[in-house]
Chain A
Amino acid sequence: AQTVTQSQPEMSVQEAETVTLSCTYDTSESDYYLFWYKQPPSRQMILVIRQEAYKQQNATENRFSVNFQKAAKSFSLKISDSQLGDAAMYFCAYSFGPGNTGKLIFGQGTTLQVKP
């Protein structure tokens, strides 16, 4: 069965600094997708970034980037120039490739605190 593990329940970073959130996953599939979702105190689930497994290049969205290591089954999120608005719970998630049920399998979440 596919699993997603976030081993850091809580992280903190100083404003303007860089922080990396870790995520590992387990799968026997070759075609899949990985996501990072942000959940601020409003509880809304916001897609931050996604990565397609067949793409070698790491995804980047403004201050957010990933380090995707397919062989190691690792998918970390780097937040550069951290801002107070980045404080939230972050979830790593995995999904199979096209044509399947589209289920997202989530990790346990990492709460990020940003210190001014």
Chain B
Amino acid sequence: EAQVTQNPRYLITVTGKKLTVTCSQNMNHEYMSWYRQDPGLGLRQIYYSMNVEVTDKGDVPEGYKVSRKEKRNFPLILESPSPNQTSLYFCASRTVTASSYNEQFFGPGTRLTVL
């Protein structure tokens, strides 16, 4: 089954304790992205990657890191989480073509609480 998976689905942590949220897709997609969802703000892009070893900042990158060492994986790293990073996080992926825009497939979301 074609899908984007995220782990963990729920996480409660404390300020300053490094954490990683994993994202993996099995569709051989070139493009992957992380979004955060906050009430009244919709979803906002954190980081994206156009392919292996190619990453760039989105609209709200502060406090986050990413890496893309393999095509299927795109982990999100919070090296020193703070309470304002409490949010719902989504990973998404899509294929890239020159002639049309393709649907982004979203993972199931990770609910993160930073105390």
Contact = CB atoms under 8 A, between A and B. Distances in A.
A103 B33 contact: yes
Interface in B60-115: 88, 90, 92, 94, 96-101, 103-104, 106, 108-109, 111
Contacts of A33: 101
A107 B97 CA distance: 25
Nearest to B101: A33
A98 B100 contact: yes
B103 A50 contact: yes
B43 A104 contact: yes
A75 interface: no
A44 B40 contact: no
B109 A108 contact: no
Given A98-B101, A102-B48, A91 B109 contact: no
Interface residues of B, number: 30
Q: Is the interface of A mostly helix, strand, loop or mixed?
A: loop
B56 A101 contact: yes
A103 B48 contact: yes
Given A44-B109, A45-B106, A101-B48, A107 B101 contact: no
Contact of A104 (B96, B97, B104): B104
Nearest to A39: B37
B45 interface: yes
A108 B40 contact: yes
B50 interface: yes
Interface string A80-116: 0000000000010101011101111011110000000
5 contacts: A42-B108, A44-B108, A45-B106, A102-B94, A109-B42
Interface of A: 4, 6, 9, 33, 42-45, 47, 50, 52, 91, 93, 95, 97-99, 101-104, 106-109
